[in-house]
Structure 1
Amino acid sequence: MTGMVLMVCCSFFVLFFVSVQAYDDNNDYTKYFLGFSVYISNTTNKEDGVLCFRDTNYTRATIPNPVNITCPYHGRYVIYFNNRTHPPYPKGYSYNAWIELCEVEVNGCPSPGYYGENCSLECPQNCQGGYCDIVEGTCFGCAHRYIGSRCQECVAGLFGNNCVENCSMHCGDPGICDKVTAHCNGSCLAGWEGEMCQNECPMGSYGVNCIGNCSLTCRHPGKCDKVTGHCDGGCQRGWTGVRCEEGKRYRN
């Protein structure tokens, strides 16, 4: 069954052939519908689209009539498909495929980019392609740089309006920060300080968040590497160690 025009799809109502006989395992028509699939595509070729539903569990006794199918995709054509090309077939299946449908209803908004009652609400602006679930308004995918059910959050590593600013690589977790304020989460890499870890340690300090004090026993008192705290140029007489923290012992 092809050719049904649909812009944004949410659900299908499929009504199989109707007979006066009860729809159960004694009904001769049920075997022809087992194993059916429904696709949605922008062309009349199902291979160009996405699979919305494939029956792998129904039996002649359990297949409902009608069948309601929810499909969170968008496209132009709804394609009902069934085949019998790979025997042996499951128990109850017919040997030939027949399409005997009474009705296929497609429920969705007539124009893309809307959802809700009477399709009166616009989809979130960062939904990929402008498409969203016509009931909940959640996005099927997000535009570049956004995440979240409504694509309202920046991906990790970005912040600010339109998510175009990069978090500092000097954050304790490099490139990761608050997506609104850009503040680093908890700490900075050694040698940096500030809410966004944008400032190098001032003279005389070093380490994570610059909380370490350079040793006054460095050769140049209070001057050291801002990352490691190692003294520049060695130690004053009588001291040793990379930070000049150890007193030398002299033999008499």
Structure 2
Amino acid sequence: MFALRWIFIVGFNCYVFCYENLSRRPTTVLTQSSTYHAQTASLANDGDVQTDEQHCVHTANNHTKAWLQVDFGEVHSIHNVKIYHRREGNSSGDWKQFRFRQFYLDVSNVSILQTTTSQRNRCYNDKTKYPDLPPNIIDIPCEQTTRYVIVETTYDAPEDDPTTGAILEICEIEVYGCVATCRNNVCDGFGNCYNGCVDGYWGPACELQCPANCEELTCYRTTGNCISCKSGYWEKRCSSRCPIHCFERVCDKTNGSCTRGCASGLYGDMCNRPCSLGCVGGTCDKQSATCANGCVQNWAGSQCDECDSNHYGSSCSLECNHDCENSTCNGTTGLCTLGCKRGFYGYKCDRQCTCCPSGCDRLTGRCNGDCLVGKFGIFCDKACNQGCKVYIRDVH
């Protein structure tokens, strides 16, 4: 019932369905074998169906063959061809379509310049002989899938015209059908495809190709977005490559995140973050960065991204000062975190207390308690006068 509603629309060629006049598509090109005056091939697809001489293609005389070719630029599915030949009235003296006798209508996927009639498919061959005339407007069924439609004649009309040679005077040629990308070759008079598009195309008239990286070249008809992507691509039109470090370069088609894990040594949704140098084998969990096989020597933590308690530095290769308490220090700075062993002071416990039997302050080096006999001062580094008989500690 949907298709039948289109039957009465004026200007479209309708049978059960309406079809588009493919001759009028902007990509269609008409050429002719020769030209008389300025009556070029473009007059035959300008939409003007008047049949007087000035509105018609006119090939030159003194040729044994005359032709007009319609080139769609690519293969389309055609249904019928309607031709308007020159006729200027019904009176006996009016010009009529005698030059149209015995023309033939061929289709081909190869240009007329590269084929002979035997190499083309024939849709129609006029058999009219003098004095009869063929109809000057003729609608020819021609259900073919083709790129070129060719009207050709070798007929000379000496009985009607002293001019010699085969001549065509076509005022308009309408080729009705659908672009080959319409599914089931069904379209309306505007070229819109009723039943959707064949794989690889989208748009109302299925005139647009699906993006090259769509899986099996299939996409949504209304948007051109890919239904799915070829391996290695993502985004609506599969125009973005999956991150290079995704395992087998496979990623989520919506957000580009790696779905099968990462190449060795990397983690994160996009596999763009390096695992810690401290992971055994350099590998870690894609989401948490936890080192599954533990840490290499001198490293610690679930992600093996920090030094153990006895080492420091960017690669945890430097040992804490052994005079740090328990040989423990900050993993970045090397500063002793638990204080110093007895007899040492400083941030890295790399300075020795002097003459302090009870040890010294960890940071300042000041002696705790009395100095050794013969020494005095806050660092117990000053010698008592040899005339002194009793050691008295300087409390200042």
TM-score normalized by structure 2? Answer: 0.27
Which structure exhibits the higher relative contact order, with contacts defined as CA atoms closer than 8 Å and separated by 6 or more residues?
1
TM-score normalized by structure 1? Answer: 0.40
- Which structure's CA Rg is the greater one? 2
